[in-house]
Amino acid sequence: QAQENIITVKVNEPQDTISKHIYGHFAEHLGRGIYDGFYVGKDSKIPNTNGIRTDVVEALRELQIPVLRWPGGCFAEQYQWRDGIGPVDERPLVVNTFWGGVTEDNSFGTHEFLELCEMLDTEPYIAVNIASGTVKDASQWIEYVTSDKDSEVTRLRKQNGREEPWDVKFWGIGNENWGCGGSMDANYYTNVFKRYSTYCNAEYKIASGGEWDDLDWTRTFMTKIKEVPNFIDIAHGMSYHYYTIANDWAVKGSATNFVEEEWFRSMDQTMKMEDNLKDHIAIMDEHDPDNKIALIADEWGTWYDVEEGTNPGFLYQQNTLRDALVAALGLNIFNNNARRIKMANIAQTVNVLQAMILTKKEQMVKTPTFYLFKMYKEHQDAVQLPSDFQGKTYKTEQGEIPSVSVSASKNGKGEIHISIANVHPRADLKTTLDLQGLDKLNNVSASIISADKMNSFNDFGKEEQVKIASFDAFKKKKAKLEIEIPAKSVIQFKVQ
């Protein structure tokens, strides 16, 4: 007997609001992410405003990016913010020791980043240096950016052309301080965090988490932070990093030239993020039952070997239909755990890791992940609805995973969006979508992201292979839909 596939959405059981910040991004001084990606300099022939690429900004505005994290990553812990202010030709040259050993001329600094955020209409999230800087550096950077008081640093800001303070809410207190941020242990880091955070006069402060599998770090941080009276004044979030690696760290595999085993592992490993997140969340729930400290997944996405012939320290990789599927799985997980997860930042926007945009001189490509984020932006600040899939699995010699991942939400206009990913690369899936709580369905429309091949991608100067198309392989049956979901696709329904 054929197994029945069913997706259920409970329309009348609204849960938490899916913070729009789950649709956030990350941009580090790494490879061609900032320089050549966002920033080409004022004298470039590539159209720009104050050095910031016009085409990249226009494209990213389509995604309604809610928040952008900068300047790292590992680079944040070597960044001296004073190097990146003042007349550009007087800024010091430094070496980016983390990424490629290249010379960083500091032409893109605080003012340029905040101007970029204004152009994108996005909220900035700045990570301060706590490993090779001082408490004074960190607290003065925040004062420089956000204070409306008269002081030496705010006078400096005005002298550098910015009269009014910027409104920057999110500040990271370090980055990966278990590793590139100073190889600290959880106990030591938590003390460092308390010290910095006490003097960092910022609205929303995000602590570094441990490695993804280091539950002890989370436990130590949560236990010790609670010893601080009014801990919520100094800690608002704890960060979480999880990358999808199709093979292993030594040989991560190609972004485009891969076999089905690697496809499977990418899906499997991304799905496993949910159990891992739940383990961290359980510890946070135990120590912070009132849900005051958020989990901030401020680095996630795919990480492959770099494209042939490119600098290994630049982390430049192509982006295929597989990446769109991984993004769908990740975002479904964040949507479905929106109670504790209040922000996520995919790594890293332009030309680095799982990027939205790739550039080559004056050319630009919108990746499959770009289109996935464009499709999913409907969930920003909508209320999560419980959803579930029962049915066929995707089984290979490497294991067995559900063939479908789903998340759903209802926005302020009453529109319901249901996002469904069929991760099976070869099997179309007939399924019922049961919108429990509705008697009938009036207006239903749908869109799809799919392509001929698992590794279809969008290339410079060629017709796009992966983009959003409209989808109509479904029939209404009262409050149910009978759908034929193509293999390796993401579908989004809009029900009004």
Residues acting as catalytic residues: 176, 299
Window 343 to 362, contacts with ligand AHR (CB under 6 A): 347-348, 353
**Does 77 contact ligand AHR by CB under 6 A?**
no
Residue nearest to ligand AHR (CB): 73
Please give the helix or strand (H or E) that residue 54 lies within, else none: helix 54-61
Window 285 to 314, contacts with ligand AHR (CB under 6 A): 299
Q: Which stretch binds ligand AHR (CB under 6 A): 38-46, 69-77, 255-263, 355-363?
A: 69-77
Q: Whole-number minimum distance, CB 172 to ligand AHR, in Å?
A: 10
Residue of 22, 23, 28, 319 interacting with ligand AHR (CB under 6 A): 28
359-389 exposure pattern, b = at least 16 Cβ within 10 A, e = fewer? beeeebbbbbbbbbbbbbbbbbebbbbebeb
**Does 368 contact ligand AHR by CB under 6 A?**
no
Residue of 31, 72, 84, 330 interacting with ligand AHR (CB under 6 A): 72
Beta carbons of 309 and 323 less than 8 angstroms apart? no
For ligand AHR, the closer CB: 238 or 448: 238
Q: Whole-number minimum distance, CB 417 to ligand AHR, in Å?
A: 29
Give, rounded to a whole angstrom, the gap between the first and last alpha carbons of the chain. Answer: 35
Measured between alpha carbons, how far is 345 from 473 in angstroms, rounded to an integer? 33
Q: Whole-number minimum distance, CB 5 to ligand AHR, in Å?
A: 36
Q: In a 3-state reduction of DSSP, which class is residue 60? A: helix
Q: Whole-number minimum distance, CB 70 to ligand AHR, in Å?
A: 11
Window 394 to 453, contacts with ligand AHR (CB under 6 A): none
Cα–Cα nearest to 391, from 62, 33, 3: 3
Window 154 to 193, contacts with ligand AHR (CB under 6 A): 175-176
Q: How many binding residues for ligand AHR (CB under 6 A)? A: 10
For ligand AHR, the closer CB: 78 or 455: 78
Take residue 227 and report the two structure tokens written for it: 């010893």
Q: Which stretch binds ligand AHR (CB under 6 A): 66-74, 197-205, 373-381, 448-456?
A: 66-74
Q: Whole-number minimum distance, CB 73 to ligand AHR, in Å?
A: 3
User: Residue 465 gets which letter from DSSP?
Assistant: S
For ligand AHR, the closer CB: 301 or 368: 301
For ligand AHR, the closer CB: 69 or 342: 69
CA torsion, points 350, 351, 353, 357, in degrees to nearest 10?
Answer: 50
For ligand AHR, the closer CB: 75 or 166: 75
Measured between alpha carbons, how far is 70 from 89 in angstroms, rounded to an integer? 22
10 Å Cβ neighbour count for 441?
A: 18
Q: In a 3-state reduction of DSSP, which class is residue 250? A: coil
For ligand AHR, the closer CB: 154 or 348: 348
Q: Whole-number minimum distance, CB 30 to ligand AHR, in Å?
A: 6
Q: Are strands 237-244 and 363-366 parallel, antiparallel or unpaired?
A: unpaired
Question: In this structure, which amino acid lies at residue 347?
Answer: A
10 Å Cβ neighbour count for 169?
A: 15
Take residue 365 and report the two structure tokens written for it: 């490509």
What is the contact surface with ligand AHR in residues (CB under 6 A)? 28, 72-74, 175-176, 299, 347-348, 353
